[in-house]
Structure 1
């Protein structure tokens, strides 16, 4: 069944294993030790054959819950959940090169933390290089050349551009695994990450459901979705639109049914910026000067900026002043301006991914919703998978954690150790194996 607008078809390996074990157990009798041994052997063979790449002789006992998606590297995918048992050790001290767009926000810092933690656990060498921006394609190409020519065994490539390898004109002599962002090349057959179309759909669907539960006749949604057509921002944007305005994505028989619902929602503005808070403040300044949307949906960096900007705007409601983009909100200034009798219009903030500031916003009810794709686990998984492939495993295709939706009232039930790096973690660029 093809997934429609981000819906997930889940077929858990745990359920399959439990059924098999029950069948095997039912054949055991106290009178036949031979039959018991044979049944146990059959069960072991069945379990090994089902696990494929998910079993390894040197694995940890606790499994990671992951999604295996297909077809590979396409926008709309089928997904099945799998129990993945991470390695406890590598067969040798591999040397891995990791390239990332930047380490300017919590997303890629969380990826770095996961990479570092699992590289240390497996006692391998890791070297990480950042391009510095999604707009520094030339620099990342130079870094890729350095890693291809160096003594690295494999490359984890968090690309700044899906078509980066089309501009790389030297032979690809080492395994390249896509890290987080997709790579449009037949030379790459494994990607660690989530479906970015689905990430956008999750955030957009929250707004759609929120609107349907309310009484508003018409709502406006402003999008601040990240660098234009870089990383996964284009698919995120398409997923958002598919969730907010499903009539354009449905069959003709469903079109009339959905048109009344989708007509409530208008995407009133789409703006892009690199992941820099000052750039987003500038975008927000102009956005809020032109209009007051009912929702702002954006990257975590955009939503972080919006929390501060809206605090100032609410305090100054009724005034012609709007905070300048370069200004940080000051609590003393906000307190002095709370004498307005008319409350400011409530703008709901929705983040397409999680950060520490977005998490604080969720706790304080300043952010309504955030998608969470477990970036720390993605980093750990990338190290685990690259080591497995170096040691003979087949390509893993599209694999990564399931996406979760977070709201303030469900955070107490959500474990965050795989979602964010610790607050005191600073980026680490090299891990050396222990002697």
Structure 2
């Protein structure tokens, strides 16, 4: 099989952004969903086709799919969790999820995935802690005949079967461009503290490169770049240190956890009107922050959809059906102009959803 979609049910779509924002993402009607498909799979710089994604109606059997996440400490991964869980239920497959507890726990993730495969998983979906650190394991798993799908974070392994993810370089660039355009006519330089996330993670390195490139040549000065795990306490400390070093800061830009931590700190210090906050991805906290005018803007990568697509890719590969090797929802920025009209269900888990680790077919 290859990454070229068959003519049906895959349909090329023009002017797709409106559909991406309007399609409902509940388990009954989330599809067809507008996505980008990389024409050269796994090459983030390659050209793309715009297509409508259509999953299988039902799996032919209750495949056992293992899902590995870096952690479930923030609502972003809860959204991806909801996507894989709800799609597994809809398609009638078994799902088991493991989470490593944080971006410093690569060995934990490796051993969890090994255990999953040893217990009989038919396919593995991995949100990788490290861009390069899982390559040997992925090679061994692939050689054993178990497909590996790369979700959200990105891996450099050539042995993966498919990717369900966007370019975090473009996510960083989106918010960088937004900020640069917001101040393109200002005479004074704009001082920004930038918090891209855990060092060494593929999505973080890409996001940093995209953001720095987008603000280069503008009147945005990145006066501080601080890396750290996406736990709230870690990010809060990084923001506090930056405010001490740069009391004249204009913006805090970074992960969703950074943004959420910053809004609380700025409110406590009476600095909400002085320092703006932006995130380079989207969570319920960011959603509420934008609605309350505490966060300026954030791009969304439709995290729920990435989870759904990864489950469908696994099913298609296992059943020998045509599949796209490299799929990602289209990106767009959410701010006060569209916060009330965008497709919330594609980006956020329902309010009553709790992290779920197993799905058993009914």
Provide the C-alpha distance between the structure 1 equivalents of 2:104 and 2:347, rounded to a whole number of angstroms. Answer: 26
**CA positional deviation for 1:313:** 1.9
**Match in the other structure for 2:7:** none
Which of 303, 306, 311 is matched with 2:259 structurally? 303
Q: Secondary structure at the match of 2:149?
A: strand
Which of 203, 209, 215 is matched with 2:186 structurally? 215
Of 142-151 and 198-207, the range deviating more from structure 2: 142-151
Provide the C-alpha distance between the structure 1 equivalents of 2:173 and 2:250, rounded to a whole number of angstroms. Answer: 18
**Match in the other structure for 2:165:** 193
**CA positional deviation for 1:364:** 1.3
Contact 1:64 1:86 survives alignment (8 Å):
no
Cα pair distance change 1:97/1:171, threshold 3 Å: closer
Q: Give the alignment's TM-score, normalised by structure 1.
A: 0.74
Q: Secondary structure at the match of 1:408?
A: coil
**CA positional deviation for 1:383:** 0.9
Structure 1 residues not aligned, in runs of 5+: 1-11, 17-58, 246-258, 316-343
What is the RMSD of the two structures over their aligned residues, measured on CA atoms?
Answer: 2.0
Q: Secondary structure at the match of 1:225?
A: strand
Over residues 205-242 of structure 1, what are the superposed CA-to-partner deviations in whole Å (9 max), with x where a residue is unaligned? 11110111x42321111101110121410000000011
**Match in the other structure for 2:24:** none
Q: Secondary structure at the match of 1:76?
A: coil
Residues 31-430 of structure 1: pairs in structure 2 closer than 5 A: 62-168=31-137, 170=140, 172=142, 173=144, 174-212=146-184, 214-245=185-216, 259=217, 262=218, 264-291=219-246, 292-314=248-270, 346-394=274-322, 396-430=324-358
Higher helix share: 1
Q: Secondary structure at the match of 1:411?
A: coil
**CA positional deviation for 1:171:** 5.1
Cα pair distance change 1:195/1:227, threshold 3 Å: same
Contact 2:300 2:347 survives alignment (8 Å):
yes
**CA positional deviation for 1:358:** 0.9
Provide the C-alpha distance between the structure 1 equivalents of 2:189 and 2:161, rounded to a whole number of angstroms. Answer: 44
Q: Secondary structure at the match of 1:414?
A: coil
Over residues 389-414 of structure 1, what are the superposed CA-to-partner deviations in whole Å (9 max), with x where a residue is unaligned? 11113552220211110001211221
Provide the C-alpha distance between the structure 2 equivalents of 1:204 and 1:111, rounded to a whole number of angstroms. Answer: 24
Provide the C-alpha distance between the structure 2 equivalents of 1:429 and 1:420, rounded to a whole number of angstroms. Answer: 18
Higher relative contact order (CA 8 A, sep 6+): 2
Of 287-296 and 127-136, the range deviating more from structure 2: 287-296
Structure 2 residues not aligned, in runs of 5+: 1-10, 16-27
**CA positional deviation for 1:193:** 1.1
Of 170-179 and 398-407, the range deviating more from structure 2: 170-179
**Match in the other structure for 1:318:** none
Q: Secondary structure at the match of 2:351?
A: coil
Larger radius of gyration: 1
Provide the C-alpha distance between the structure 1 equivalents of 2:209 and 2:336, rounded to a whole number of angstroms. Answer: 26
Contact 1:154 1:386 survives alignment (8 Å):
yes
Contact 1:197 1:236 survives alignment (8 Å):
yes
Q: Secondary structure at the match of 2:338?
A: helix
Provide the C-alpha distance between the structure 2 equivalents of 1:171 and 1:406, rounded to a whole number of angstroms. Answer: 39
Over residues 89-138 of structure 1, what are the superposed CA-to-partner deviations in whole Å (9 max), with x where a residue is unaligned? 11111110111100011111100101110111111100000011111111
Q: Secondary structure at the match of 1:127?
A: strand
Provide the C-alpha distance between the structure 2 equivalents of 1:293 and 1:301, rounded to a whole number of angstroms. Answer: 19
Q: Give the alignment's TM-score, normalised by structure 2.
A: 0.88
